[in-house]
Structure 1
Amino acid sequence: MADSKTILIAEDSSVILNLTKKILELQQYRIVSAKNGGEVLKQVESQQIDCVLMDINIPVKNGMECSREIRSHADPRIAQVPIIAITGNANNYSMEQFREAGITDYLPKPLDFDALVRMVKQHAG
């Protein structure tokens, strides 16, 4: 497990968080979580994160704000972490807006867990 990749799941729904966590743990990923945008940067700064699954509609700071903060971070390791947006209302945002916020890729809700695993493997290795 020492060489397993760490995925940060920023998600306020405990149902989605727990399902996503279980599926990624089965793929041998180490999972940490943030229930709101205030916790995201703390998690990213306190440990090596290989990929962030970012719910766009999380409380405190939304996923777009969190993504911009990560991208503007002074530490290049943090600033370059892949960010996968997860949103139930992707129609409210264009891929252009996601890119402008620094989002690497996105998955619509309800989550397709096969697509989730593929995308995490693609971005986190």
Structure 2
Amino acid sequence: MSESKKILVGEDSSIIINLTKNVLAFDNFQMKAARNGKQVLELLEKEEFDLILMDISMPVMDGVECTRQIRALADQTKSKLPIIAISGNIHNYTPEEFRRLGFDDFLQKPLNYDKVLATVKKFLS
């Protein structure tokens, strides 16, 4: 049995955190949640993760700024982690703009959990 992959979720909604945790656990993924970008960076400093699901709109530090700071990290492993944006896309970013902002992929809210799992597996298989 291979070791389960660890996913860091930056999301301020308890409902989305709980649903995501249940869906990911079903496929043996471990998950840690952070409520804002500052907490994402703090967790990333202390622990190893395989992928980040990042809400764009969070208090304290949003997902775009947090992703920019992750991409600028000296640690090459952490700076190159797959980061998937989660957004209602109020800014109407195109997929190309999400990539320019440092994201590897994008999931639209409301989340389709089959698509969440498929996207996570695409980057972790």
Q: TM-score, normalised by structure 2?
A: 0.94
CA distance in 1, matches of 2:91, 2:112: 17
Corresponding residue of 1:21: 21
Question: SS at the partner of 2:117?
Answer: helix
Displacement of 1:2 in angstroms is 7.2
Q: Per-residue CA shift, 1:64-106, capped at 9, x if unaligned?
A: 1111111110000100100000001255222232112210000
AA aligned opposite 1:86: I
- 1:115 counterpart = 2:120: no
CA distance in 2, matches of 1:105, 1:43: 21
AA aligned opposite 1:30: Q
1:90–1:108 Cα contact (<8 Å) kept: no
Which contiguous aligned blocks of 4+ residues in structure 1 show a shift greater than 4 angstroms?
none
1:69-84 pair list within 5 angstroms: 69-84=69-84
Corresponding residue of 2:65: 65
Any unmatched runs of 5+ in structure 1? none
**% same residue:** 46
Corresponding residue of 1:42: 42
RMSD: 1.4
- 1:3 counterpart = 2:9: no
Q: Per-residue CA shift, 1:34-59, capped at 9, x if unaligned?
A: 00111011111211110000000011
Aligned residue pairs: how many?
A: 125
AA aligned opposite 1:53: L
1:9–1:33 Cα contact (<8 Å) kept: yes
Any unmatched runs of 5+ in structure 2? none
AA aligned opposite 1:21: K
CA distance in 1, matches of 2:90, 2:53: 15
